[in-house]
Structure 1
Amino acid sequence: MSALAFFHWSEYFTTALFNNHKLSLDSFLLNHSKEYTLAAMCSWLEYGVEYYFFPFVKSWVWLSRSGVVMVIVGESLRKVAMFTSRSNFSHSIAYKKTKDHQLVTHGIYSWFRHPSYVGWFYWSIGTQLLLSNPVCLVGYTVASWKFFRERIEEEEMTLLAFFGRQYLDYQQRVATGLPLVRGYEPTYRERYLLYNQ
Structure 2
Amino acid sequence: MLGFVVLLGLLNSEHSLGIYFTVLAFFHFSEFLVTGLTNPQNLSFDSYMVNHSVAYAVAAVSSWIEHGLLLYFVPSLKQHTIISMAGLAVCIVGEIVRKLAMFHAGRNFNHLVQDRKAEDHVLVTSGVYSLCRHPSYVGWFLWTLGTQIILINPICLLAYTYVTHMFFKFRIEVEEQNLLYFFGQDYRKYQSEVGTGIPFIAGYTLVRKSS
Answer yes or no: same fold by TM over 0.5.
yes
Cα distance in 2 for partners of 1:143, 1:62 equals: 26
SS in 2 for 1:186: coil
Aligned with residue 38 of structure 1, among 52, 58, 64? 58
Distance 2:43 2:165 in 1: 27
In structure 2, how many angstroms separate the alpha carbons of the residues matched to 1:79 and 1:144? 19
| Corresponding residue to 1:112 among 122, 128, 132 | 132
2:203 is aligned, of 179, 183, 186, to 183
AA matched with 2:88: V
Supply the RMSD in Å over aligned alpha carbons: 1.0
> What is the identity percentage for the equivalent residue pairs of Structure 1 and Structure 2?
48
1:53 lines up with 2:73 in the alignment: yes
Partner of 2:4: none
User: CA offsets, 1:78-129, max 9 Å, x none?
Assistant: 0000000000000001100011000000000000100000000010000000
Cα offset for 1:62?
Answer: 2.2
Q: CA deviation at 1:38?
A: 0.3
**2:30 match:** 10
Q: 2:178 aligns with which of 154, 158, 165?
A: 158
**Which of 82, 90, 96 is matched with 2:102 structurally?**
82
Report what 2:46 is aligned to. 26
Letter in 1 for 2:93: V
Report what 2:152 is aligned to. 132
Letter in structure 1 aligned against 2:128: I
Distance 1:143 1:88 in 2: 27
Corresponding letter in the other structure for 1:104: V
Structure 2 CA distance for aligned equivalents of residues 168 and 64 of structure 1: 40
Q: How many residues align?
A: 190
Aligned equivalents of 2:112 and 2:174: distance in 1? 11
Cα displacement (A) at 1:52: 1.1
TM-score w.r.t. structure 2 length?
0.89
For 1:125 and 1:189, locate their aligned partners in 2 and report how far apart those are by CA, in whole Å: 39
Q: Structure 2: which 5+ runs fail to align?
A: 1-20
What's the counterpart of residue 72 of structure 1?
92
**Residue from 149, 169, 184 that aligns with 1:149:** 169
Residue deviations 1:116-172 (CA, integer Å, cap 9, x gap): 000000100000000100010001111110000000000000000000000000000
Q: CA deviation at 1:189?
A: 4.5
Alignment of 1:167 with 2:187, yes or no, is yes
Moved more, 49-58 or 17-26: 49-58
Which SS does the other structure have where 2:202 is aligned? coil
1:60: how far off?
Answer: 1.6
